[in-house]
A and B are shown apart, each in its own frame.
Chain A
C-alpha cells in the first residue's frame, strides 16, 4: 500500500511538473493510475466487432452528469467518440446518448427495452446512481433496478459497462454516495461486467491536484476539462476491457 502510494505520488509529482510547463496546453494532464483502468471482465462483443471490422455502436445511457450545460460536443460521450476514432482508425465508432434526467435507475430501466431494440448497440455504458443518491432511494431497490437493467442489456446482445457517481466533495455533507457505489460494484461483479469507477478516478485527480473540485464557481471550463479527461480514460478502459491489441488491429489492415 505504502509503496503504491509512494509510486503514485512520485508519478503525480512528475506529471504535475510537466503540467506546469505546458500550462497553455488546452488538454489537461489527468492521468489515471493503471489499476483504476484494469478489469477482469471482458467486453467480448466489442472485441469481436473490432476484430471483424464491424461498426462499434456505443450507447451511453446517462443522467444529467453525462452532459454539460449548453455545451454540446464537449461532454464525455463525445470525447469518448473522438478518442476511440483516433485510436481505432480502421473501425467505425458511433456514440449515441440517451439521457434520463431526474430519473432513478428504476425509472430509467422502464423504457429501456424499446431503445435497445431500436439502437442495437454493441456496448452500453450506463451511468447511474447520482439521482438515486440525491433522493436517498432504498439502496436495495437501486441494486435490483441496476441488476434488471444490466440483465436486459445483456439479453439484447450488448456488452455493458457501468459508470458510477462523480466525486463531489462539496456535497459530501448532503449526499451519501457509498451505498450506491457499493451496490454498483456488486452488480458488476455478479454479471462479470466492467465497472468504470468514475468516483475513484475523480477523487484521484482531486488528491493529485489535477483539478480543484472544491472551487465554488469555476465556470464551464472545469466541467469541459473533466469531461475531456473522463472521455479519454473511458476510451482506454473500453479498449483494455475488449482485450484487443491496437497494433494488431492496425497491421491487419
Chain B
C-alpha cells in the first residue's frame, strides 16, 4: 500500500528509470533525496495527539497541545499534509505534466475515501453492538443517537456521500475534499504561487463573511469546514513550493520571535482559565465577549495565528539538521509520520477499540493510561512494519522489471 504523499527517495525512481535524461536535466535531484525529517516528526506527533484526544480525557490528555493554547493537532496535520502533497505532486506535475500528476492525486483521494469507508464500517459494528447491549434509563435521551440504525438505507448512503460523519471521523472527509481540489490549486501554484495563496485567503474571508459551509446529515454542517480549512492546506503547499524560503528573513527576525512568544503565552493563560476556574475572574469580560466562541469548524483566526506562532518558534529553534532527528528515541514518532494515512486510520480504529475496551471490559485511570500507551506502541510498531515492507519490496522491484515499479507497490 502506498503512503500519504511524502518526499521519498523511492518516489524519484520510476521517473528516473523511465527517463534517465530527466535526472541529468534536474540538478537539485540529489538534494530532494534529503528527507525533511522535521515534517515527519511533527506529523507523527500530530497523529499521536489525535489518537490521545480521541480517547476520553485521561492523564496523557494533559500532554496534548490543545490544553496549552488555541490550536491542536489537526492544524499541524493539515498544514503538513498540504506541504508534503505540494512537494511530491508539484514535482510530479513539473516532470510529467498536469494530467499524470492529477491522476496520481485522484488515485490517492480514492485510497483515502476507501480508508474512510472502512473506518465507518468498524464504527457501525461497534455502535450496533452497543445498541443491543446498553440499557440505562439515565441515558435514554442520549441513546437517541442510535436511532439512525433504524434507517440504514438513508444513513449508509449519506455516509458514502460523506454527509453523515460519526464523531471523530471528520478529518478524513476534510482531507479527501482538500486533496480532490489539489490538481487545480497546484497548477496555479506552480505558475503564480502568491496568487494561489491570495485566492485561498479570499475564500477564507468569504467563508466568514457569507457563512459558507457544507451541509451534513441529519442536520448541521461539516465539523471541519473545508472552505475555511483549505487556508492551512494551501498555505502549507505555498510554503513547500518556495514560500518558506522567501519567509526566511521574517522567520529569523527577533520581532517575529517576540510576537510569537507573547501570543503563545497569552493563549496559554486563556486556556488556563478554562481548567482552573479560580483564575476565571482575572479574564476581562470584554475580551471574553470579543474572543468567544473560538470557532473550530471555521478555523478561527485565533487558532490559525496560534498555529503560525507555534510553527515560527519551532522552525527557529529546531534546525533542519538537528542531530536528535536521527536519534533512536524519536524514531517511532518519525516512522508514524512517514506512513500517515495508515497510521491515522489505525489511530482512529484504536481510539474506537480503546473506548470500547474501557467501557465494556475494564475502566479506571490505570487501564486508561495503559490503553493509551498500548495504542501508541501499536501505531509505532505498525509504522515500523510498513517501513520494513516498503524497503523489502523496493529492493525486489529494482531486481525485477523496473518499469512496473508502480505495480510492485513500492512507490508513490
B136 touches which of A1, A170, A182 (Cβ 8 Å) = A170
Decide yes or no whether A86 CB sits under 8 A from chain B: no
Question: Is A4 within 8 A of B136, CB to CB?
Answer: no
Interface centre among B167, B221, B275, B285 (most CB of A within 10 A): B167
Question: B409 → chain A, closest Cβ, in Å?
Answer: 33
Q: Which residues of B contact A217 (CB under 8 A)?
A: 134-136
**In the assembled complex, how far is the CB of residue A140 from the closest CB belonging to chain B, in whole angstroms?**
8
Chain B residue contacts of A143, Cβ below 8 A: 293
Contact of B138 with A171 in the complex, beta carbons under 8 Å: no
Please, which residues of chain A bring their CB within 8 A of the CB of B137?
68-69, 219-220, 222-223
What sequence of 0s and 1s flags, for each residue 210-232 of chain B, a beta carbon within 8 Å of any chain A beta carbon?
00010010111101000000000
Total B residues in contact with A, Cβ cutoff 8 Å: 49
Distance in angstroms between the alpha carbons of A190 and B198 in the assembled complex: 35
Contacting pair A69 B140 (CB below 8 A): yes
Q: Known: A172-B355, A173-B352, A176-B167. Contact between A134 and B145, CB under 8 A?
A: yes
Chain B residues whose CB sits within 8 angstroms of the CB of A183 once the complex forms? 293
Contact A138 B219 (CB under 8 A): yes
A226 to B144 alpha-carbon distance, docked (Å): 20
Smallest Cβ distance from B75 to chain A, in angstroms? 17
Residues of B within 8 A of A130 (CB): 141-142
Count A-side interface residues using an 8 Å CB cutoff. 50
Q: Which residues of B contact A215 (CB under 8 A)?
A: 136
CA distance A136 to B275 in the complex (A): 25
Contact B219 A4 (CB under 8 A): no
Give the contacting residue for B141; candidates A131, A174, A176; CB below 8 A.
Answer: A131
Q: Is the CB of B293 within 8 A of A135?
A: no
Known: A40-B281, A137-B220, A183-B293. A64 touches B140 (CB 8 A): yes
Q: A175 to B276, Cβ gap below 8 A?
A: no
Are the C-beta atoms of A166 and B126 separated by less than 8 Å? no
Q: How far is the CA of A220 from the CA of B140 in the complex (A)?
A: 11
Task: State in angstroms the CA–CA spacing of A139 and B224 once bound together.
Answer: 12
**A-chain residues with CB within 8 Å of residue B292 when the two chains form the complex:** 182, 185-186, 189
Q: Which residues of A contact B (CB under 8 A)?
A: 1, 4, 35-36, 38, 40, 63-65, 68-69, 102, 130-131, 134-139, 141, 143, 166, 168-176, 179, 182-183, 185-186, 189-190, 213-220, 222-223, 226
**Which chain B residues have a beta carbon within 8 Å of chain A's beta carbons?**
56, 123, 126-127, 130, 133-147, 166-168, 213, 216, 218-221, 223, 275-278, 281, 285, 288-289, 292-293, 296-297, 352, 355-356, 358-360, 363
